[in-house]
A and B are shown apart, each in its own frame.
Chain A
Amino acid sequence: QVQLVQSGAEVKKPGASVKVSCKASGYTFSNYVIHWVRQAPGQRFEWLGWINTVNGNTKYSQSFQGRVTITRDTSASTTYMELSSLRSEDTAVYYCARSYRAVALVMVYWGQGTLVTVSS
Chain B
Amino acid sequence: EIVLTQSPGTLSLSPGERATLSCRASQSIGSSYLAWYQQKPGQAPRLLIYGASSGATGVPDRFSGSGSGTDFTLTISRLEPEDFAVYFCQQYGSSVTFGPGTKVDLK
- Could you list which residues of chain A lie within 8 angstroms of chain B, going by C-beta atoms? 35, 37, 44-47, 61-62, 95, 97, 100, 103, 105-108, 110-113
Contact = CB atoms under 8 A, between A and B. Distances in A.
Interface in B23-62: 33, 35, 44-45, 47, 50-51, 56
A108 B33 contact: no
Interface residues of B, number: 19
A107 B88 CA distance: 13
A106 B44 contact: no
A100 B95 contact: no
Contacts of A47: 95-98
B35 A62 contact: no
A120 B78 CA distance: 49
A110 B56 contact: no
A1 to B, nearest CB: 12
Contact of B44 (A44, A61, A100, A110): A110
A105 B100 CA distance: 18
Contacts of B97: 47
Interface of B: 1, 33, 35, 44-45, 47, 50-51, 56, 88, 90, 92, 95-101
A79 to B, nearest CB: 16
Contacts of B88: 44-45
B96 A105 contact: yes
A107 B100 contact: no
A105 B98 contact: no
A112 B44 contact: yes
A106 B95 contact: no
B50 A100 contact: yes
Contacts of A112: 44
A113 B44 contact: yes
Given A45-B88, A100-B50, A95 B44 contact: yes
Nearest to B93: A105
A84 to B, nearest CB: 21
Which 9 pairs, one residue from A and one from B, show the smallest C-beta to C-beta distance? A105-B92, A110-B44, A47-B96, A45-B98, A106-B50, A44-B100, A108-B47, A44-B98, A106-B35
Contact of A44 (B33, B50, B51, B101): B101
